[in-house]
């Protein structure tokens, strides 16, 4: 599973007066892709919070916009895992217009694993193994 794919349609509320998607909505789409990525690996993100008392907090975001998405566009968000370390995960993203497959944006998020109080913690082995398998499948 090198990439998880998520299909979305641009909603009117995600656009500005010009009908172009507001830039911050790409970060919401990244989150949707990240959640789907975890599901495709075999777990629901909520499990980490409920069962282990841990959170995967965003520490850094990068997004490069290539072309505007517009109201009612069909888009595809592709998500991969670029790096897994003891306390840090790095995800990569690509957003495409469908069916033309035009690249609209690409980005990356860096996450730190923390406890409920926000202190850095090690990612439990069961999740590290799942995430590592995701990287091995992607050939990284």
**Catalytic site positions:** 16
Residue 18 to residues 60, 71, 73, 87: CA-CA distances in angstroms? Answer: 29, 10, 14, 41
Q: Judge whether 23 and 63 are in contact, CB under 8 Å.
A: yes
Of 124, 125, 110, 128, nearest to 41 by C-alpha is 128
CB 103 within 8 A of CB 66: yes
**Is 128 strand, coil or helix?**
helix
């Amino acid at each position: 599973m090198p990439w998880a794919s998520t299909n979305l349609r641009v909603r009117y509320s995600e656009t500005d007066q010009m009908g172009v998607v507001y830039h911050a909505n790409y970060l919401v789409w990244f989150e949707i892709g990240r959640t789907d990525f975890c599901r495709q690996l075999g777990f629901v993100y909520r499990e980490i919070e409920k069962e282990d008392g841990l959170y995967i907090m965003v520490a850094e975001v990068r997004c490069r916009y290539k072309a505007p998405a517009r109201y009612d566009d069909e888009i595809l968000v592709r998500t991969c895992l670029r790096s897994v370390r003891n306390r840090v995960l790095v995800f990569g993203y690509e957003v495409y217009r469908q069916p033309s497959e035009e690249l609209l944006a690409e980005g990356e998020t860096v996450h730190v694993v923390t406890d409920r109080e926000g202190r850095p913690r090690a990612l439990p082995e069961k999740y590290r193994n799942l995430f590592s398998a995701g990287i091995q499948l992607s050939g990284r």
